Structure 1
Amino acid sequence: MDPKIELLAPGGDVDAIKAAIIAGADAVYCGLDTFNARNRAANISFEELVGIIRLAHQYQCQIFLTLNIVILENEFKSLAKLLSKLVNTTLDGVIVQDIGMFHLLTKHFPTLDIHASTQLTTHNIGQIPFLKKLGASRVNLSRELNLREIAALTETGRENDITTEVFVHGSLCIAFSGLCYSTSASVGNSGNRGRCSQACREEYETTESGHNFPLNIKDNSAFFDLPALIEAGVHSFKVEGRIKGASYVHTVIDSFRKQIDGFLATGELLEDGERLYKVFNRDLTNSFLKGDLNQSMFIDNPRDNSKNHLKDKLTHNGLKSISVVQIHDAEQELQTEKSQIQASVNDKIKHLSIEKLPLTLSFSGQLGQPLTITVSTQDFIIGQTQLEDKTFTVQSPSLLTLSDDASIDASSIEKRFKSLNNAEFDLLQLVTDDLAPGLSIPFKELTGLKKQVLLLLNHETPVLPAVELPKLARYPKPETHRPKLSILICDEADIALADVTDADIYFKLPDAYKRGCTKYVEFFKQNPRLIPWFSSVLIGKDFDAALNILEQVRPKLIVTNNTGIANRAYELGIKWIAGPFLNTTNSYALLAMQEQFDCHGAFISNEINQNQIKHIARPANFKMLYSIYHPILLMASRQCFFQQSVGCEKPRIDNGCMLSCDKSTSITNLKGDEFAIDKQKAGYPSIYNQDQFLNTEIIEDLAHLFDGFMIDLTNIGAGDKPSPDKELLIQQFELLLSGQSNLATSLGNIVPKSTVLQYHNGL
């Protein structure tokens, strides 16, 4: 058991961050008003961040900045400016999702410590070394994992000198993080850009099983599982909640602090967790952690459940019949407690200041003497409001001489030293009363003195210059090469389509396998034309089975949506292409995958629009691909979508569900939009948009950028709807790619329910 564990708190605004610090958090993660995955949080400014870092470090608390979204091509210039400022702070780490940002950080900002976000969907042991090679020192594991799976990943983390972080409290996504496109498909509000519209919390038309919130699950809490997580080797216990207020953050962090400290001191859990129910909650569950995915994880109330918990508690305490008066009195008492919590937290944090430090520079010197600068700063003493002076001096190497034309006066001093009025310091005064007039030293020495002052103010760490990113080289494909068609299938019967086309044929492998599965090894050896297509989520034994296929078949080329498979393909020298669910949106991601993992191509994300695509620079000898026809995945889950929609005779998911269940149904929101729920054998439960994605416009707009366009013929997500004739689709798309643009209309008739909205909206 490693007692060196970290309690990591959310900080959506300044007060919440202060509350976390004073409650005993070892670290706080927070976001600026840009480049972070909680745009609904208040967030903080850069100046506030600098003050927060200083305050936190006084309490031995670290600060991690969330930069956990996918990055668009035109944002890297602004991102480089921000990172250039961050490297000159004492920030403790950045939390990252985008593979391109990893590349940018390791190449140009190596002093920043990098943590891999949960948005990277890290769930198997192959992904740990992949992220380590990208530059991560820590990985936030997927929230869907159980204790056994977490222990396996932390062990791999130790082998790769990378720590792990697990969510222990707060809201749960029913979807795999990083793979939820629920509102991106309709209005461009992507969870991969911090704009999650929480479709899983929406009300739907009453389902067959009688539920109005069929996707809403309870909040996560591992409050009583901390010993098991410590035993599993988890380094950081992370609390979710960057859109929650200071009273919530303080209550939860203080409760976990006491629980952790009590256990480490006595070996027992001493806290009962009741305080967690006095702040916002949707009731609490630890079912993912226990690997017990059951119906009780759902709750038909996406709002605060604290009053309902109170009523349940009264009932459990032996009150067989509760009167309206008793309920009212209890609710009033709860509201009073909540107000008291808020008042108490406000009182505790009111003395904590993140204001800029007052700074005064005094210049003195006479003829024949060096120029002396006395620097006076003031810092807050912990827990008090009085100030403590810190003073130091610097002197010029040359002596002051007479000069009529280039004398040092108040104007020239202000010109060179006004930049010290920055995010950290409030430059109150530039005092020149003791500097004799008409004197001078070489102006380069004056600039040198400013640099010396900056060095000393910056804890004797040199101030790093701003990074200007070099222009990326573009390697266009030959103009004579038309984009080639490729098709995706998952039914062995569809191998016959190879007789009607010379298109590349990808065969989609399942998400789950029977133990000892060898079926697909022989299958690919017998069908060498097929290119294996690996899924996004491969957990535990399913990852082992997928690895076995890769290692036994040794295909010439694969497509993978899973970075663990990508890493192993690189180690084996197998050519690989990044699939569309790796969320590739920029040139730097292409460079990272090519330079570090010998990637040979990538599908560009379907979340971005024409303008966002066209600026992506192709590396040399690298293929750019795009899916022009496919079902639109909104979300995939480890939990069952049928329990709350049509009902299921099984109260919980068992080992056979993944391999044998192949149900389909639909749910309809209150706007009348219908969504298909689809469960393939050996696949995760998934929800799809009512329309297929059909983008023929990109062929006219951007064919010169792409080596290939793919069509998905798997029938996945179609539910009970008939699918178009596959041979006809192939024929029509091939003619379209050959230049017969008039076929776009006929394709629209063949696929009557289609949309191209994502290509128009973008991110």
Structure 2
Amino acid sequence: MMEFEWREKTIVQNKVNREDIELLAPAGNWDSLKAAVANGADAVYFGVEKFNARARAANFTMAELPEIMAYLHMYGVKGFLTFNILIFEQELEDARTLIEACIDAGVDAVIVQDLGLVKLIREISPDFPIHGSTQMTITSPEAVEFTKPFQLERVVLGRENSLKEIKAIGQKAKLPMEVFVHGALCVSYSGQCLTSEMWGGRSANRGECAQACRLPYDLIVDGQKQEMGNIAYLLSPKDLAAIDLIPELIEAGVTSFKIEGRLKSPEYVANVVSKYRAAIDRYFADQDAAPSAEELRELQQSFSRGFTHGFLKGTNNKTLLDGTFPKSRGVLLGSVKKVLSRSVLVEIDSPLKRGDGIVFDAGDPTVDEEGGRVYDLLVNGKKAEGEVSQGLVEIVMGRRDVRLQRIHAGDRVWKTNDPELNKRLRQSFETDKPYRTFPLAVYVTGKCGDKLQTTWIDLKTNHAVTIQSVEKLQAALKRPLTAALLHEQFGRLGGTLFHLDADQLIVELGEEVILPVSELNRIRRSAIEELTLLRRKPPVYQKHAATPMTVRPVVKPAAQQAQLTVLCRSLEQLEAAAQTDVDLLYADFEFVKQYPEAVKLAHRYGKKIALATMRIHMPDENGVLALIAKSKPDAILVRNTGALYYYLSRRDEINIPLIGDFSLNVSNHKTVELFLQSGLERVTASYDLNIQQMIDLLEQTDSSRLELVIHQHLPMFHTEHCVYCTFLSEGTDHTNCGTPCEKSRISLKDRVGFSHPVRVDTGCRNTVYNAIDQSGAEYLGEFQRLGVGSYRIEFLEEAQDRVKQVIELYRRALRGEINGSHVWRTLKATNQLGVTRGHLTK
């Protein structure tokens, strides 16, 4: 169990208002959406049947958008549509249709990954709100600055940012920030995981994550399997839980607290939203009490792989994952002391009662585990009534549920299900009554012979309606209209969204007058109906007239003009490649201190060289970017928008050509245009494109300014989690790990038997590369026909002879001396790992 902490508040209370803070909840279906609203969410994010990063969720339909937004706005809750995937060329028209439907329905914002989609949205509407998804991999002030020309309303920071970094980003970039505070963690940087695409043809950038990080792996160190005991889930993080960090997050400038979970149950949504609602409210009530033990247990009960702060308190590789299981376990009850003839004696330190679900954990979740419902509880041989909180308890299970002979002393016991909790959570949103009501102010005037005038004001929205009586006021002989009588009639608002306090009713009647009670009731019903309709009314955004997508003429260079470039990861590879006829070298080294030597080596052979930035850019890493420029390369391979902004904003002092890499996620011509217009010389197509999608892109853009990677080991996971530090060191991060990555080489062996190399970059981030190198060589003829301007080969651990051989094969294919199929077949014959055609397969 994670140790939670709570510290004294240092913030001045009037520095930030409650209204400035948003609690943002997930909704995968109507029940979850209602659960979020009922339990205090300020905003909800959801997807429709297409274009969202949770393709496996139930999701809504585009036709439901007006109804969804009217329902949310009725309760004063905002609704954000997730559009957080890459968009392929043939999908742009459908994307436009969905954006226009969002504008018409009054969606409060779309959460976007693809910068080409951002460009398209701004062509459709200048003021429709856009949120930059965590899939944009925004982790630095510079990355935020890059988005500002597109008027993004807010950005969702990477889950790898610490509190210190979040504060630095907020202070420098001055844009509202959204941060994940609870739920599942991706081990890979969002927007930078290619594992599902490589292994299963299911792209995480397309909402189809296959959760390869939750699979077991063997740790291979310098070619030998490392014995790990029951540790097998080397990439499976615990779940994020930052409920005790609410004060620090608010003080760091976070304005939106995001809960993960569009695939989770409505009960999970109700549970987590209610707990974080209470924590935020306690903060603004100036209460410093920590979340209670019961609150924490209930959070764990709904879903938990164990809780962690993730990277919010900084990097601690020892606390990020457990390693012994990849799935939700619930609450740890205790451990087995003895197995009896018909029951199990367990020492518990968390509450348990009849009907709860439990599982016995022998340390290997890959095999079937014993578990089921608690049939009876015995304490000191006597049947326990109600809940038992701690101590030795005899657990009697249903005979069909568990085989006692498979349970052993020492096994951990988890409470996996609590029916009473689930019932209470469901009751929170399964009701015919409104989840909350809003205050009204009513102003009443009139005199005898005139009609009664009433003005009703929704004090939360400032909507106002005026309703007058049909009948005229008459002199009262008895029971005249008084403030008390009017409050009695106008305050009958049960079952509506409103309530009327006595001090919010102002009555100005010059004399004693009377009006039938039926007329007062009609006035009240009419006012409430109109105010409710005003709440449901969508906001109005500007929308330009639709213009059809136009096919652009493709600039097609002659075949001999296409460049062959080579990316090397060591000085030895670089020297081998420099001795061939390649047109440009890339250096992508673990240690950037070798970059000046790499430039000198390339120039000694008369070759141009580009130096690669790291794939991630954090607030304190501008020094690395400065060193790259100081090395005076012929170009810079830019891998993130933070680095791109850094160089673009320093054009006067750093006038070096910039090339965009695959990690910028270019998948349609709008994205190509955006990056080329920003100042890149050329861009590299996303690895998410298959051959047909690649052709579609090439036909719609200036293909002479595109680079395609046609040979490589695909970089699958890119993660802040350091496997070297976690399993080969007693340390917690780069400051105390002893740099085992400089002494050993690690790979992760999967269930099929392939060992996937794990390499470290200058920022101590790990990349897990696919064991098998892949080739798109057989499509070279098609690419040449479409005028592709540059082809890249990437090496990982290849020896110098292999480097020269691979380059020569691709050069011959580009000259038309051999066909592409011959290239990959030859490589397959000479490479023991084999070659797959990978992400470029049809």
Matched, 1:698 2:779: yes
2:333–2:350: 8 Å Cα contact kept in structure 1?
no
2:559–2:784: 8 Å Cα contact kept in structure 1?
no
1:126–1:568: 8 Å Cα contact kept in structure 2?
yes
Encode CA deviations 1:214-255: one digit per residue, 9 max, x unaligned: 221110011111111111111111111111111111111111
Paired with 1:677 and 1:599, the residues of 2 have a C-alpha distance of 30
Paired with 1:699 and 1:203, the residues of 2 have a C-alpha distance of 37
Pick closer, same or farther for the CA change 1:345–1:313 going to 2, 3 Å: farther
Paired with 2:747 and 2:703, the residues of 1 have a C-alpha distance of 44
Pick closer, same or farther for the CA change 1:553–1:315 going to 2, 3 Å: same
Paired with 2:775 and 2:657, the residues of 1 have a C-alpha distance of 28
Q: Which residue of 2 aligns with 1:539?
A: 618
Tell me by how many angstroms 1:509 deviates. 4.3
Paired with 1:676 and 1:252, the residues of 2 have a C-alpha distance of 38
Q: Which residue of 2 aligns with 1:438?
A: none
Sequence identity percentage: 26
Whichever residue aligns with residue 302 of structure 1, its letter is P
Gaps of 5+ in 2: 1-14, 220-225, 336-345, 352-388, 402-412, 437-494, 500-521
Matched, 1:135 2:151: yes
Q: Which residue of 2 aligns with 1:445?
A: none
Pick closer, same or farther for the CA change 1:90–1:668 going to 2, 3 Å: same
Q: Which residue of 2 aligns with 1:8?
A: 24
Q: Which residue of 1 aligns with 2:810?
A: 733
Pick closer, same or farther for the CA change 1:29–1:672 going to 2, 3 Å: same
Paired with 2:527 and 2:565, the residues of 1 have a C-alpha distance of 68
Q: Which residue of 1 aligns with 2:637?
A: 559
Pick closer, same or farther for the CA change 1:26–1:599 going to 2, 3 Å: same
Q: Which residue of 2 aligns with 1:382?
A: 497
1:516-535 aligned within 5 A: 520=595, 524=599, 529-535=608-614
Q: Which residue of 1 aligns with 2:60?
A: 44
Of stretches 722-731 and 696-705 in structure 1, the one that deviates more from structure 2 is 722-731
**What SS does the aligned partner of 1:104 have?**
helix
**What SS does the aligned partner of 1:485 have?**
strand
Matched, 1:324 2:344: no
Matched residues, number: 658
1:263–1:270: 8 Å Cα contact kept in structure 2?
no
2:609–2:633: 8 Å Cα contact kept in structure 1?
no
Tell me by how many angstroms 1:332 deviates. 8.3
Whichever residue aligns with residue 95 of structure 2, its letter is L
Pick closer, same or farther for the CA change 1:18–1:316 going to 2, 3 Å: closer
Pick closer, same or farther for the CA change 1:149–1:456 going to 2, 3 Å: closer
Q: Which residue of 2 aligns with 1:450?
A: none
Tell me by how many angstroms 1:38 deviates. 0.5
Pick closer, same or farther for the CA change 1:148–1:98 going to 2, 3 Å: same
Query: 2:692 is matched with which residue: 595, 600, 611?
Result: 611
Paired with 1:462 and 1:109, the residues of 2 have a C-alpha distance of 7
Q: Which residue of 2 aligns with 1:358?
A: none
Paired with 2:180 and 2:728, the residues of 1 have a C-alpha distance of 29
**What SS does the aligned partner of 1:252 have?**
helix
2:41–2:273: 8 Å Cα contact kept in structure 1?
yes
Tell me by how many angstroms 1:601 deviates. 1.0
Matched, 1:576 2:658: yes
Tell me by how many angstroms 1:335 deviates. 1.9
Paired with 1:245 and 1:66, the residues of 2 have a C-alpha distance of 18
Query: 1:301 is matched with which residue: 317, 325, 329?
Result: 325
1:135-174 aligned within 5 A: 135-158=151-174, 162-174=175-187
Q: Which residue of 2 aligns with 1:63?
A: 79
Pick closer, same or farther for the CA change 1:533–1:75 going to 2, 3 Å: same
Of stretches 197-206 and 271-280 in structure 1, the one that deviates more from structure 2 is 197-206
Paired with 2:720 and 2:311, the residues of 1 have a C-alpha distance of 9
Pick closer, same or farther for the CA change 1:520–1:725 going to 2, 3 Å: closer
Pick closer, same or farther for the CA change 1:509–1:20 going to 2, 3 Å: same
Matched, 1:271 2:305: no
Tell me by how many angstroms 1:212 deviates. 2.8
2:331–2:416: 8 Å Cα contact kept in structure 1?
no
Query: 1:111 is matched with which residue: 121, 124, 127?
Result: 127
2:565–2:586: 8 Å Cα contact kept in structure 1?
no
**What SS does the aligned partner of 1:546 have?**
helix
Tell me by how many angstroms 1:65 deviates. 0.5
Tell me by how many angstroms 1:607 deviates. 2.2
Pick closer, same or farther for the CA change 1:637–1:462 going to 2, 3 Å: closer
Paired with 1:310 and 1:339, the residues of 2 have a C-alpha distance of 22
Q: Which residue of 1 aligns with 2:243?
A: 223
Q: Which residue of 1 aligns with 2:257?
A: 237
Note the aligned Cα RMSD (angstroms).
Answer: 3.5
1:153-552 aligned within 5 A: 153-158=169-174, 162-204=175-217, 208-210=227-229, 211-272=231-292, 273-274=295-296, 275-299=298-322, 300-308=324-332, 314-315=348-349, 321-325=392-396, 335-348=418-431, 381-382=496-497, 461=540, 464=543, 467-497=546-576, 499-510=578-589, 520=595, 524=599, 529-541=608-620, 543-552=621-630
Whichever residue aligns with residue 566 of structure 2, its letter is I
Tell me by how many angstroms 1:346 deviates. 4.0
Paired with 1:507 and 1:658, the residues of 2 have a C-alpha distance of 29
Q: Which residue of 2 aligns with 1:629?
A: 711
Whichever residue aligns with residue 561 of structure 1, its letter is R
**What SS does the aligned partner of 1:195 have?**
coil
Of stretches 659-668 and 32-41 in structure 1, the one that deviates more from structure 2 is 659-668
Paired with 2:623 and 2:666, the residues of 1 have a C-alpha distance of 26
Of stretches 319-328 and 215-224 in structure 1, the one that deviates more from structure 2 is 319-328
Paired with 1:709 and 1:675, the residues of 2 have a C-alpha distance of 25
Larger radius of gyration: 2
Tell me by how many angstroms 1:107 deviates. 1.6
Gaps of 5+ in 1: 354-379, 394-423, 426-454
Q: Which residue of 2 aligns with 1:684?
A: 765
Whichever residue aligns with residue 689 of structure 1, its letter is N
Q: Which residue of 1 aligns with 2:7?
A: none
**What SS does the aligned partner of 1:486 have?**
strand
Query: With structure 2 as the length reference, what TM-score do the two structures score?
Result: 0.72
Pick closer, same or farther for the CA change 1:623–1:20 going to 2, 3 Å: same
Query: With structure 1 as the length reference, what TM-score do the two structures score?
Result: 0.79
Pick closer, same or farther for the CA change 1:499–1:250 going to 2, 3 Å: closer
Whichever residue aligns with residue 311 of structure 2, its letter is F
Paired with 1:754 and 1:660, the residues of 2 have a C-alpha distance of 30
Pick closer, same or farther for the CA change 1:390–1:547 going to 2, 3 Å: same
1:618–1:624: 8 Å Cα contact kept in structure 2?
no
Pick closer, same or farther for the CA change 1:172–1:630 going to 2, 3 Å: same
Encode CA deviations 1:256-314: one digit per residue, 9 max, x unaligned: 11101111111514532423123111121114111142323222222222142577993
